Structure 1
């Protein structure tokens, strides 16, 4: 057996109830508590960011392309559907999906209430997968159908449905203002709820063919393109690739510019997490140094005896490092069990609620990011292993004669 490991086992097995055993438990507890807090913190942080981003992407794609114009209203200038950008999007690096949409302002009116609305017209190329978590009643509208009443189906927000007092299956008039106001009888087929107030108060989804007819556009005219990228972390690089494919009369916008306050808020969360990580790392490192110093003071006579028998300082230092790493392993085990357990309970039972008006969601979200969890465990081992070497250098100053005479 390796000598440092054998001696470390002797140091580790202190009598139950002794001061040394108590200090060891404190060291294990501090590591476990720090790791559990970090696991929960990162799971919640990533949960917040992922949930908010997914809600934003429901109505604000990663990249948007529209016609260059000075018009600041919702009356869009038409883009051709079959452009080089749209038809050759698969050849542009970084693009996952592209879809054509159109916007038009209107008013929904019932006998008692009315509500301003921005109708977002979508076609067959629209990706409805993002709506799976936000659809609270009914279904998404049928769009781009050759027959039937698909162009009169409407997807409303829960906020507007409550304001107007309408439910799934009911009809509501939608008025479009202009030189001659026009009305369309729309059927509510679904209700969504994102928790983003500025979206829920204004956006309804329907068939793009309705807007094309109202604007007197042909079937090959749309209001804008929405582009989703493969890797959101490389948004700027993909935006540069898309920009190269634009014609001179097209304008490119990023979702990070369109919803800058929300992304600034998420950046602030990242900064807070760095501060939290730094504080917990400092406290855990300080505790481990303190624990190891106490253990060395407890074992001063043994250190003197080992030196008197010819043991070199590096050998004794490695012995105490093994003791520290043993505590780290137990601390990591307990910390993972506690941290992952708390995350599982919240993810499974949604025990901690949130006010959607302030947090844009109904409960604390959890995201299982296993690379981050593994990095936290690996980083804790490496950092504490390095930190543990510093207090062991005090062994060089222990003299065998004085250490053997040392009384606890």
Structure 2
């Protein structure tokens, strides 16, 4: 049991950590440094965890937005036949929230020539993946529109709309309303004749989206699924794949296995974690390595407490000997220094947690930590606050600091009272 004696003396040593004469200021300094070390370690660990959690959330939401939870296609590489029946079967499965048909294949996208200083510029051409979808089939992209709208309706000139990424619009030099031409290379491959021409169709840019995933924004061009079928040579009941959205993302691997088992060949189902394994592995690496590395700061700070408390023991040797001579038990002296270690740890942990919380809220509000978007898929460091992280990091720091105080506490409890009183320590 911790009594009032141990608490009172521990708080006294903590609040007024004074040494004798010229060493008074130094002892105060090392105590403050110990508290500061814990604060820096805890704050850095919490901030790293907030950023890593934010990365995990943002990257996952973007990848899932593009690929949905489960992708159902054919392992033969051919279009899925009888797609309406297959969609109906998938939609009846327990846990399935939405089923979206997709027609997807490589195409060429060419911008219309422009007039610059009276001269016609050479049209820019980029290889893209033409993605045919129902008008309401891509809510994620619709929410990421920067200009225009996610709309495939006809314009005044009778052209149908396409939606492209911001990066692609910059490469082609086109804006909303500008005309583009799609060359469907799949129809040329189907003919098999040398010199065959692809199917060509004119569109206009109805909208421009930006997700922050530069590789995706540069690659995918969305249009109506029926137009994509016509261009790519699909029949009315053929699709490239079917995207399945579930009630619970975490159940996507089990659902993929279930779909493959129940429907059978040539249907092949993959969860989003399998489709984008590389990106998820990168996120998992960040989530596992960064907090582990930063945790060493907390451990180092905890061990610094050993040196700090040993200095307190040396400075307070005579006082400790007097207390022991007056009847205090050695166990009480051990508890005294364990409490002192816990006070240093708690002070540093709460200060660090408070600073991390303020910094995290500020970054979430103003995004003042920029990131290279082409490398991290985000323009600023993302933040996700979790109460559980603050609780366990704070508690772990206090426990580590208390355990680190055991050696100084043991040294203090072995002081011989008669010897210290007689010879002054």
- TM-score between the two structures when normalised by the length of structure 2: 0.83
Judge which range, 227-236 or 120-129, deviates more: 227-236
Query: Shift of residue 40 of structure 1?
Result: 1.3
Query: Shift of residue 79 of structure 1?
Result: 5.1
Contact 2:339 2:402 in 1 (8 A): no
Encode CA deviations 1:25-69: one digit per residue, 9 max, x unaligned: 111101111111111111122222322223322322332110231
Encode CA deviations 1:287-329: one digit per residue, 9 max, x unaligned: 1222222222222222211211221122122222222222223
Name the residue aligned to 1:162: 170
Q: What is the alpha-carbon distance in structure 2 between the residues aligned to residue 340 and residue 250 of structure 1?
A: 48
Q: What is the alpha-carbon distance in structure 2 between the residues aligned to residue 39 and residue 151 of structure 1?
A: 53
Encode CA deviations 1:347-383: one digit per residue, 9 max, x unaligned: 2222222222222222222222332222222222233
Name the residue aligned to 1:14: 16
Name the residue aligned to 1:338: 355
Name the residue aligned to 2:92: 88
Name the residue aligned to 1:42: 49
Contact 2:163 2:222 in 1 (8 A): yes
> CA, structure 1 residues 295+96, in 2 after alignment: closer, same or farther (shift >3 Å)?
farther
| Structure 2 residue 31 is matched with structure 1 residue 24 | yes
Contact 1:107 1:116 in 2 (8 A): yes
Q: What is the alpha-carbon distance in structure 1 between the residues aligned to residue 158 and residue 415 of structure 2?
A: 86
> CA, structure 1 residues 85+24, in 2 after alignment: closer, same or farther (shift >3 Å)?
farther
SS at match of 1:311: coil
Q: What is the alpha-carbon distance in structure 2 between the residues aligned to residue 406 and residue 240 of structure 1?
A: 79
> CA, structure 1 residues 53+405, in 2 after alignment: closer, same or farther (shift >3 Å)?
farther
Judge which range, 258-267 or 100-109, deviates more: 258-267
Name the residue aligned to 1:99: 100
Q: What is the alpha-carbon distance in structure 2 between the residues aligned to residue 293 and residue 231 of structure 1?
A: 54
Encode CA deviations 1:114-143: one digit per residue, 9 max, x unaligned: 2222111122552414653x4322222258
Q: How does 1:95-244 map to 2 (within 5 A)?
A: 95-109=96-110, 110-111=112-113, 112-123=123-134, 126-129=137-140, 132=143, 134-141=144-151, 152-177=160-185, 178=187, 179=191, 181-214=198-231, 215-218=233-236, 220-233=237-250, 235-244=252-261
Q: What is the alpha-carbon distance in structure 2 between the residues aligned to residue 52 and residue 295 of structure 1?
A: 49
Q: What is the alpha-carbon distance in structure 1 between the residues aligned to residue 181 and residue 31 of structure 2?
A: 72
Contact 1:58 1:131 in 2 (8 A): no
> CA, structure 1 residues 196+323, in 2 after alignment: closer, same or farther (shift >3 Å)?
same
Query: Shift of residue 239 of structure 1?
Result: 3.4
Q: What is the alpha-carbon distance in structure 2 between the residues aligned to residue 66 and residue 270 of structure 1?
A: 31
Q: What is the alpha-carbon distance in structure 2 between the residues aligned to residue 292 and residue 97 of structure 1?
A: 62
Q: What is the alpha-carbon distance in structure 2 between the residues aligned to residue 151 and residue 302 of structure 1?
A: 91
Judge which range, 311-320 or 382-391, deviates more: 382-391
> CA, structure 1 residues 237+4, in 2 after alignment: closer, same or farther (shift >3 Å)?
farther
Query: Shift of residue 197 of structure 1?
Result: 3.8
> CA, structure 1 residues 79+351, in 2 after alignment: closer, same or farther (shift >3 Å)?
farther
Judge which range, 328-337 or 233-242, deviates more: 233-242
Q: How does 1:239-278 map to 2 (within 5 A)?
A: 239-278=256-295
Instruction: Give 1 or 2 for the bigger CA radius of gyration.
Output: 2
Q: Which runs of 5+ in 2 are unaligned?
A: 19-23, 114-122, 192-196
CA RMSD for the aligned pairs?
2.9
Q: What is the alpha-carbon distance in structure 2 between the residues aligned to residue 8 and residue 241 of structure 1?
A: 62
Judge which range, 225-234 or 204-213, deviates more: 225-234
Contact 2:176 2:208 in 1 (8 A): yes
Query: Shift of residue 340 of structure 1?
Result: 1.8
Q: How many residues align?
A: 397
Contact 1:151 1:208 in 2 (8 A): no
> CA, structure 1 residues 15+227, in 2 after alignment: closer, same or farther (shift >3 Å)?
same
2:391 aligned residue (374, 378, 382): 374
SS at match of 1:166: coil
